[in-house]
Structure 1
């Protein structure tokens, strides 16, 4: 058997790459991981973790207003963006250190260089060092997509949003997905005037229609503007230092910041994949089988760089399954059925399983149950904002095939509900469960 420098060489130290490397090493493999930036990947460094911290910070804007109805007096509250930004980035530094410690404590060598595949079982580092590995794992993630238009260099993406020197007074956010809606909620709560520009007329197209319509309604009520069927023509910098944006079907708009949230592109350029025969998809994604193996027998890929679900917990599952399959002698694949997800908008959305439309197209006979209510806290606070919970059931046997929610703490509640859907529980099982009162979650077991 040929000798190699490493049993596994991982390119990219994000959530999937770190899990795969750590578990492979625990199985006894000699592992190295190359990361040209920081350990932790999109989620920890420039994605879901710091974003959620900004969401928490933004929520205080409404809490400070609502608390007065609960008897609290808060004199002249002020907000310091730089303080929030620096505290968030400080915690990112802490997490980056923890991820590095985790790898090193398991004997994984971290190489802080860019790496590319240059031959059969061969990787070359940026400094010219050539390394061989029995197996290679691609875990380089994805990056924000920037639309092509004159002046697009004046815009930012979610990467730069965490590092702004100050809050813009007016921001235009391009896109209709979860990143656009999450940052729209953050900036709006912190006092920025937000305009969302979307090339279609649909927000969050993968979510249930009733739930996404409710978010649109609430967002407009909160003061967020929407411009649909709009595509960029040009972005110009004015003499006053503002940005003038021209688009189709709408008048020009002047803002202080343009943020692109128009999807993500797999990071496969410059890795040498095509040269060794790794098959890529139309968008540059690495094509893999159910065991994360590419078209080249010894090269695997996990996470956002592939053509599967772009979620951190999914990448972690894929990394674990890869390590168990290749080094643990336990062939394991990941199930992509009933994967729960959330949008940390204001208020948040959470979902698992089929939407009502998908269920009707797939099952034919469907029963739908909804609860449309105003959370108790909103009633006392005088906030006219309603939550919506929805159960989608197979009409033949009552099995719950989808749960959809918008309202405070919806993602926290959904995690438990997702277990029930994954387990194949029925509406009757929910009905048989005693409610916890008074809670919002009890609505899930009280629908009739």
Structure 2
């Protein structure tokens, strides 16, 4: 490709999943590429998000397995105990390994990696915290987001999701403030690893935006596991006591004492102090970078992808936006990223997978729909005497018979929803689902055996 008079054809700001993928793909297309990251390569997902979170989920789920093993004939003589320090050491060793993998992938692709903070000096210029300045024909902003602290007295005493992987020891009593997937996932993890967990959520139910039946079953399952969920409740103030514990006062009049408080009440884009507004880039009041369907900002040379644009804040979406950006900017084709019918998994305990329309959305949009649903105790945990239940649910267009949404609450729901997502994305009908022979005995077979709707909208 023809190169410009600038130092680089592409300068990427941010070394998370989206930025790394864009840099590598652009370099493979022949572009001269540099990438600046001020903290650690891998971004939120690898360093302080999806990867360490999922490893903590795995660690936290072994407790019930020891109980189940006895029911299945195994001799488990001692009460098992989780030890955080050795797990934490192994966890951070794995994150170090993954960061090294990311660095090698970039360097092997011919990308120049700059371990420094980058700020914009104009439409084609960046200043680096190491004193360097550089020019680029195209600048890609992929700086992601960070946890946002709520505004009440003492909020600075709270932990954020970033801090949870760095704890020196597990808190005996933990308050989680928030009811989104981050709050609920951490509540499950910490409960499974031995902490006494309480959730304060200001809404009427946890996991807003997901199917009502699914989130209700998850709340029930969390309570069955010993998590105390207080709905319609917010923290008014917090302060540190002399013994190191945190005193809280909430809107329900309750005063509590906890060893730690996790504030999981939202995230904000990393756009502060980057020189974006000074370079002419349009930023919303929330700090989000405004982009068009192709991920272009209003400044032709500056583009943005991932959580900093606040379109769909998921790692695989940032990666797809990165690949679409490279095809558009360096491949000579208009390639808008596809944000329709994105499957998602929530690693709560119980786990949830979802794709497409919820029953509530069908009602709101006046879509003629049939609801197929079944809930039952799965064989494995029922045999062990646990009360766990699963939910399999479909939203089907009553006239076209196209499956508009699938919602699963079950062990392995994240794995199941990946393949259900393929079917929903392809626009398959309920009859095409049913034409597939069931795999027995599995939980997933219910997706092709529900023969009658439970209700019609």
Q: Could you say which TM-score interval applies, normalised by the shorter chain?
A: over 0.9
Cα deviation, 1:91-115, whole Å, max 9, x if unaligned, reads 1111100001100000000000001
Match in the other structure for 2:186: 183
Pair 1:434-2:437 in alignment: yes
Cα deviation, 1:3-33, whole Å, max 9, x if unaligned, reads 1000000000100000000000000000000
TM value normalised by structure 2: 0.96
Find the aligned partners of 1:300 and 1:39 in 2 and give their Cα distance.
20
Cα deviation, 1:387-418, whole Å, max 9, x if unaligned, reads 00100010111100000010110110110000
Find the aligned partners of 2:83 and 2:223 in 1 and give their Cα distance.
26
Aligned match of 2:398 in 395, 400, 406? 395
Pair 1:29-2:31 in alignment: yes
Match in the other structure for 2:249: 246
Matches within 5 A, 1:223-372: 223-372=226-375
Match in the other structure for 2:455: none
Cα deviation, 1:210-267, whole Å, max 9, x if unaligned, reads 0000111111121111122222221111122111011212311111000011111000
Contact residue 121 and residue 132 of structure 1 kept, 8 A: yes
Contact residue 363 and residue 394 of structure 1 kept, 8 A: no
Match in the other structure for 1:119: 122
Number of residue equivalences: 448
Contact residue 82 and residue 194 of structure 2 kept, 8 A: no
Deviation at residue 363 of structure 1 after TM alignment:
4.7
Q: What runs of 5+ residues in structure 1 fail to find an aligned partner?
A: none
Match in the other structure for 1:50: 52
Match in the other structure for 2:131: 128
Aligned match of 2:64 in 62, 65, 74? 62
Deviation at residue 2 of structure 1 after TM alignment:
5.5
Find the aligned partners of 1:255 and 1:101 in 2 and give their Cα distance.
43
Q: CA RMSD in A?
A: 1.1
Deviation at residue 86 of structure 1 after TM alignment:
1.3
TM value normalised by structure 1: 0.98
Q: What runs of 5+ residues in structure 2 fail to find an aligned partner?
A: 452-457
Find the aligned partners of 1:73 and 1:206 in 2 and give their Cα distance.
43
3-state SS of 1:275 partner: coil
Pair 1:447-2:450 in alignment: yes
Find the aligned partners of 1:295 and 1:179 in 2 and give their Cα distance.
32
Find the aligned partners of 1:288 and 1:447 in 2 and give their Cα distance.
42
3-state SS of 1:116 partner: strand
3-state SS of 1:324 partner: helix
Change in 2 beyond 3 A, CA 1:314/1:19: same
Pair 1:73-2:75 in alignment: yes
